[in-house]
Structure 1
Amino acid sequence: MRIELALIAAALLAGPASAAQEQPRTNEAAELSRQLGSGGLTGRKLAEAIAKAEAFPLGSKDNPVRANMPQGEQAYLRSLRCADGQAPEFMRSGSSGTGVYGYILDAYDVRCAGKDAVSVMIDMYHDHVERRPVPGFVVASAPPTPTS
């Protein structure tokens, strides 16, 4: 059963999903996380954790970017722009343990031409489309919503 859930998680990393505004913790991402053993925050506790996280830079371990599944992570990263207006290169560097919302974080190395990579932490277990940039970047436009 645990192996099957891991295979489902791997398939979700490769397949499409739609991004949406924050919803109650009933989405497929949160459910998958719970099935895999990560007990994230919900309801009022989640809202309080989000408010507390705002004291830290967006994209840090203490205030990870909230996204909806791997497709939401990719859409967010594709919306970032460097100071010269160019899209940065990015690559997932792995998982970074459990974040402040109780879910596993994904770490991405994001690099502008001629610059050192910046580590951006993303929590993909949220029905949320982040429209703010992480420090050092701007957002070109609202992250695109996958069509299918």
Structure 2
Amino acid sequence: MTSGTSTIWTPQFGMKNWTYESFLVLPTKSEEATPPGSTVTAKRWAQGHLYLEDSIDISKPTAVGSLIFPTQVGEIRLDVKASVEEGTDSARFEATGEVKDTVPAKGAFYTLVGWAFRGKDDKVVRIQGSVLAVRGSDARPDVELGGMPIGTVGAFIITSN
């Protein structure tokens, strides 16, 4: 198989380091009144490093790994489980990330939904979609780790290093 064909593709990650970036769309009052296609204000929500490897167990998830965010008080690590459906040029991507051992961030939970895109070697080369803050830490379950309320949705892009 080669990239760009209509042949069904079974996405694979190998063992790779990825860059994760997410963004919040925050239009100003004047931007809210502009027509579709207008530029609006956005800010970086989070930036970190994602390590994913193909799961050994063929009965889901497709890949497992960790997403690490550097902070002023140390790293925050989310355990990640990802599932990717078969597709042609792109495949549906779903993932969850949960902080299991980093205090005070323990308990935080996020979901990601989007598309995985294939590269020339038929491995996943880029993933993009939406991220949802489901739960904050055990200490502050109603506020996600970036300070936004639970239910906040942003855009994400994951690229191969």
Q: Which has the higher contact order (CA 8 A, sep 6+)?
A: 1
TM-score (norm 1): 0.33
* Greater percentage in strand: 2
